[in-house]
Amino acid sequence: MTSIRPAEPADMAPVADLWHEGWHDGHAGHVPDGLTAARTLAAFHERTPPRVGDTVVAVAGDGTLLGFVMVVGDEVEQVFVSRAARGTGVAADLLAEACARVAAAGHDAAWLAVVAGNARARRFYEKHGWTDEGDLPYEVTAGGETYVSPCRRYVRAL
Ligand SMILES: CC(C)(COP(=O)(O)OP(=O)(O)OC[C@H]1O[C@@H](n2cnc3c(N)ncnc32)[C@H](O)[C@@H]1OP(=O)(O)O)[C@@H](O)C(=O)NCCC(=O)NCCS
């Protein structure tokens, strides 16, 4: 049985591995090449542990990490599930938990940025009631450089 719960420090190394894999699945070819090159496994292991307080994980009964979300204020910052967990409904459960957290913090809407070329993620958000509000050039700093990631802004009323 899958459990959805706040992350603990010991979760964050598996979160970094999953984030690295999923980031390249969803972004490579759709963002500047320099940004893709900077998104190494080591870089994810550096940036992930400090995010434990923002993170909710989905974990299988045997302890395997299936996915995670990160929420900051009214932004759903990350929604990632493992390759094996895609199409299983785990991502929907994580997204619902993320929205519940945004609502519990007193916001009446949540937003997120999704890379324009990430067709699977866009379809996923749209089928769960999120609305495409248009272009959002998203500034990202990685490896000491700043890149503009061509994103769309999606919003959902809570
Ligand atoms: C984005 C993600 C969380 C969605 O979870 P998921 O379990 O894969 O989502 P679902 O399978 O429920 O929904 C995906 C939908 O996109 C469709 N789809 C799959 N590939 C597609 C493609 N190349 N183009 C368009 N739609 C596509 C699926 O058929 C499905 O739609 P349907 O239910 O109408 O058939 C997951 O795919 C993931 O972790 N991807 C890698 C990381 C990532 O991109 N995260 C988002 C960052 S903003």
How does pLDDT run across 79-127, given as a tens digit for each residue? 999 999 999 999 999 999 999 999 999 999 999 999 999 999 999 999 9
Supply the mean pLDDT for the chain: 97
The structure's pTM equals 0.97
- In the DSSP assignment, the letter for residue 63 is S
Residue 32 CB neighbour total at 10 angstroms: 15
Distance 134 CA to ligand 1 centre (A): 19
- Domain positions in the chain are 3-157
Distance 144 CA to ligand 1 centre (A): 31
Token pair 């749209």: residue = 126
Region 126-148: what's the mean pLDDT?
96
- Collapsing DSSP to helix, strand or coil, 147 comes out as strand
Distance 86 CA to ligand 1 centre (A): 7
User: Does the Cβ of 111 fall within 6 Å of ligand 1?
Assistant: no
Strand order in the sheet with 145-157: 3-6, 55-59, 65-72, 75-81, 109-115, 145-157, 131-142
How does pLDDT run across 144-156, given as a tens digit for each residue? 999 999 999 999 9
How does pLDDT run across 3-50, given as a tens digit for each residue? 999 999 999 999 999 999 999 999 999 999 999 999 999 999 999 999
User: Does the Cβ of 29 fall within 6 Å of ligand 1?
Assistant: no
**Cα pseudo-dihedral 118, 122, 125, 129, rounded to 10:** 170
User: Does the Cβ of 48 fall within 6 Å of ligand 1?
Assistant: no
Q: Is the CATH code 3.40.50.280 the one for domain 3-157?
A: no
Locate the ligand 1 atom nearest the alpha carbon of residue 81 and give its number.
39
Residue 92 CB neighbour total at 10 angstroms: 14
